[in-house]
Amino acid sequence: MPLAIGVALPIGIVLFTNDFTALAGLYAIGVIGAITVNLGTCTLNKRLPVRWWERLLLGSTFVVLLIVEITLAKTKPDALFFVLCVLGIGLCLCAYAHKLSGLRTVTISRHVAEMVSTDAIELLRPTAHEGERILVAAARITPALKFALDEAQFRKGALYVLYIKEIAVFLTAALTAGKPACWQDDPEAAALLDVMRKQGHERGVTVLPLYAMSDNPAATILDMAATLGVDLVILGESHRGALAHLLKGDVAGQVATHLPEEIALVIYG
């Protein structure tokens, strides 16, 4: 219906108008004004990908047409009155339509506007993709492990489960001379990692067990994350049992401070 009216109305005006000179004046000021606005916005829009000489050409044409538009407004007052009426009625109808649809115009501070800017909204775009590698560190069954399994299942990625056996003093020479540490030889680590492997098998998640003996859990987690090139590190916070002992000395804070920016960190608990 609006298209039909837009086609029929100009035809009717042309058929029933005897003064074509006045009609041409109304047409001229409207068309020149529209082109002038278009060229002006293109010239002033710094984000528009145009060359400097193209912007210069647009700007010079804008200046010429602006002078023409002012001349038409000065020499043809009827055309100026017509344009003002069209703009006034059009803006009023636009505001009324926005009111009916529930839209409102509000004035906000610059700080609030920056919070909802396009660049800020881009940070909320989903970045998760299939095949991501996730590292979770825990010393007992905790909700963080369930969360890690859920994330790995959702992202269809591999889950590295790191069990760190914390020791007071790291005897490098003794460990190097003897047999390398193996998680199957540690009953607590074997119990946890076996459960995670079974849960991963049931969910269709690839669970890869990792075992380390360290006097600095934070450094071990950072080293594992960088070596494996994981996309996400998940740590659990708890005030009970072995996990609290594992995370003593604010391990989560140290990991958050030194973890590379490209690796995301989730502290769950």
The pLDDT of residue 186: 82
Helical ranges in the chain per DSSP H: 2-15, 20-44, 52-75, 77-101, 110-115, 118-122, 143-155, 172-177, 187-203, 217-228, 241-246, 251-258
The pLDDT of residue 129: 61
Q: What single-letter DSSP state applies at residue 212?
A: E
Same domain, 252 and 198: yes
Would you give per-residue pLDDT tens digits along the chain (269 residues)? 889 988 998 888 888 877 777 777 778 888 899 999 999 999 999 888 889 999 999 999 999 999 999 998 898 888 888 888 888 999 999 888 888 888 777 777 877 777 666 666 666 565 556 678 999 998 888 888 999 999 998 888 899 999 988 776 655 544 444 444 677 888 888 888 889 999 999 989 899 999 988 888 888 999 999 888 898 999 876 554 454 544 455 778 888 888 888 888 988 87
DSSP string covering 152-210, please? HHHHT-EEEEEEEEE-SS--HHHHHHSPPP-GGG-HHHHHHHHHHHHHHHHHT--EEEE
Strands 232-236 vs 264-268: parallel, antiparallel or unpaired: parallel
Same domain, 159 and 91: no
Same domain, 73 and 155: no
Give the C-alpha separation, 225 to 229, whole Å.
Answer: 6
Same domain, 71 and 139: no
The pLDDT of residue 252: 80
Contacts 24+ apart (CB under 8 A), 26-29: 26/78, 26/79, 26/82, 26/83, 28/72, 28/76, 28/79, 29/69, 29/72, 29/73, 29/76, 29/79, 29/80, 29/82, 29/83
Same domain, 252 and 148: yes
Is 118 a domain residue?
Answer: no
The pLDDT of residue 247: 46
The answer to whether the CB of 259 falls within 8 A of the CB of 222 is yes
Same domain, 159 and 242: yes
The pLDDT of residue 41: 93
Same domain, 39 and 141: no
Domain that residue 100 falls in: 2-105
The pLDDT of residue 175: 47
Is 119 a domain residue?
Answer: no
CATH number at residue 224: 3.40.50.620
